[in-house]
Amino acid sequence: MKQAFKTIGLIGRPGSELAAQTVARLYQFLKSNGFESVLDSDTASSVVNLEAKHVDKQSLGAVVDLVIVVGGDGSLLGAARAVCDHGTPLLGINRGRLGFLTDISPAEIEQEVSAVLNGEYECESRFLLEMDVVRDGEVISRGTALNDVVLHPGKFIRMIQFELYVDDTFVYSQRSDGIIISTPTGSTAYALSGGGPLMHPKLDAIELVPINPHTLSSRPMIISGQSSLRLIVGSENTAFPHITCDGQAHVVTQPGDEVRVSKKANQLTLVHPANHDFYETCRRKLGWGSHIPTDSFASDDE
């Protein structure tokens, strides 16, 4: 039985005037249809002439039934990390660029949001990754990622050295610009740009994509989503490698640090319009070919 949404949380892309305008429009639409809306505090401060109830983003998931994110995939990634532990589903309205995770265009807000609130929607579970940085046996930093955890050189264009272990089994020692540890959700993001394959969102798998490895034999790998990974930061690095979660939160490592990555216990629920199709999204966003015209197979004599 599908969930009935009554109280709706609204999160807008920070610093975007278009997103703020769309949030105001959406707020008025929900209000006119009898729904209560709660904004996150940063969004509320960016929308002029709108007196609405608001709470901080980390608390939003606890007081609403559904969160609608207005922005790009980056905005939805931040919202996902904030609400995941509350089990609150997310729906995305695209005010960014590519928008693999934000399904609804601004022109379709009233029609598509109304359909979702009337029960015409699909739900999809996506898993996240948890990351710990361990130094001298103690956890010094933690992070969560819906797309990816990335080891990279930071501001310096220098190769870094590290060791990779999967389920405590040594895989390789590598010199490269780093490595992307990606979920299926993130396979359409940085991992795709790095030469990794697309993964269907329903796969229980983790993708490992080396970044510019100093070898001709290193290739992306797909491993079980149940695996636990460890990266050991090498002692001969001339730069201090950074660890980044979804390109937003990061920590600077030191030689000998251990980075542990595994699947997060709580999953995220994404809400899609009833006509959602992952492959159609790929065709539209990535410029894949559509149907081949039937007359293309006709001979020149016909």
Ligand-binding annotation for 257, yes or no, is: no
Ligand-binding annotation for 237, yes or no, is: no
Ligand-binding annotation for 74, yes or no, is: yes
Ligand-binding annotation for 148, yes or no, is: yes
Q: Among 70, 17, 16, which Cα is nearest to 40's? A: 70
Write the CB contacts of 125 (distance below 8 Å, at least 6 apart in sequence). 267, 268, 269, 270
Q: What does each C-alpha distance from 72 to 91, 100, 101, 136, 275 come to in angstroms?
A: 12, 8, 8, 38, 20
Q: State the catalytic residue, choosing from 40, 73, 246, 257.
A: 73
Ligand-binding annotation for 143, yes or no, is: no
Ligand-binding annotation for 42, yes or no, is: no
Ligand-binding annotation for 190, yes or no, is: yes
CB atoms within 10 A of CB 24: 19
> Is position 85 annotated as part of the catalytic site?
no
Ligand-binding annotation for 248, yes or no, is: yes
Residue 268: Cβ-neighbour burial (10 angstroms; 0-12, 13-18, 19+):
buried
Ligand-binding annotation for 147, yes or no, is: yes
Q: What does each C-alpha distance from 175 to 150, 166, 236, 255 come to in angstroms?
A: 15, 18, 10, 14
Task: Write out the catalytic residue numbers.
Answer: 73
Show binding-site residues for NAD(+).
73-74, 147-148, 158, 175, 177, 188-193, 248
Annotated binding site: 73-74, 147-148, 158, 175, 177, 188-193, 248
